[in-house]
Amino acid sequence: MYFPKYWIKAALKGPNREGEEWETEAWGWSDVSEEDARQKALSRARATLARLPLAQRGRGKQTSYYESSPCREAILEDLSKGKVRTVITRNSLGCDVLNTDSVGFADIDHVPARVSFFASLFGSGAKKRVAEKADWESRTLEGLRNWQRENSSWSFRVYRTAGGLRLLAISKLLAPDGPETIEWLQAVGSDPLYQTLCRNQKSFRARLTPKPWRCKVPNPPMRSIWDAATKGKAMDKWLEKYRSKAAGFAVCDFLETMGSPAPLAECRSMVELHDARTLATSRMPLA
């Protein structure tokens, strides 16, 4: 788990490997200085330019935190304790995100079934979506209970989210890129992109605050504190509005514990932190 202190974006124009004029940009990172980050950004931009054209890659921008580069997020709090490293960061949507190197989280996404045009036209579509999600949740929970009974060394807390379910492993510490972890994530049906993130970033992640559009707030004016210093005041205003609206929503709703309800000592404080920040027992609307 690594969150660099400095990030700089560099843009570069020049001939690609076929002699055509191209423009590309890349981010560089460093714990030493902004200048060191700038030099690394230029080096990455040159390397990208030398490989262009890349099919389906546009201008060669590198933005996804699922890639092997570190997450371009600012650390808001460092809450590490003993064996467990834990930091809170802000993602590109402005949400607070919990990052930990050894307590397992897994989100299981519900993919809604398609509702027919006539069902949506006559107002029955919403009811069908609610019923379909309830049925999916019931079947998924039963599958998780069966898996836990067959793998009794595992215990985890289960939460409902706006988009599905979340698991918090409480019976053992885990390596995010370890084979046991990947097997667990695959078995419970966690998002494949999240599995990639765990392997590449050596970190588990769990969003702690609502997605903006779910609490009727537009997306933030900047994706990270490194994008544009001139947008700082606008970001401050956005955060004030977002926090005010977000206070009326929970991210998780605790459902049950599968396996032993007593957390491992190192996991207990994580449960307390996660449940307090997500308002997991508040019964507020989910966002």
From first to last of its 287 residues, the chain has per-residue pLDDT tens of 889 989 998 888 888 777 788 888 889 999 999 999 999 999 998 888 887 776 534 444 444 445 567 888 889 999 998 889 999 999 989 999 999 999 999 999 998 866 555 555 555 667 888 899 999 999 999 999 999 999 999 999 999 999 999 999 999 999 999 999 999 999 999 999 999 999 999 999 999 999 999 999 999 988 776 665 556 788 889 999 999 999 999 999 999 999 999 999 999 999 999 999 999 999 999 99
State how far the Cα of 72 lies from the Cα of 237, in Å rounded to an integer.
Answer: 22
Q: What's the pTM value of the predicted model, to 2 decimals?
A: 0.84
Q: How far is CA 202 from CA 17, 97, 234, in A?
A: 34, 15, 33
Residue 213: name the closest of 63, 93, 92, 107 by CA: 93
Could you give the 3-state DSSP secondary structure of residue 193? helix
Q: What does the block give as tokens for 269?
A: 């404080």
The amino acid at residue 203 is S
Q: Which stretches of the chain are DSSP H helices?
A: 34-51, 117-121, 125-150, 179-188, 192-201, 232-246, 265-278
State how far the Cα of 123 lies from the Cα of 174, in Å rounded to an integer.
Answer: 46
Contacts within 8 Å (CB) and 24+ apart, 143-152: 144/188, 144/258, 145/258, 147/187, 147/188, 148/258, 148/259, 151/187, 152/259
Which residues does residue 42 pair with via DSSP β-bridges, in sequence order?
none
State how far the Cα of 131 lies from the Cα of 142, in Å rounded to an integer.
Answer: 17
Angle at 3 between CA 200 and CA 213, to 5 degrees: 85
What lies within 8 Å, CB to CB, of 254 at 6+ separation is 157, 158, 159, 275, 280, 281
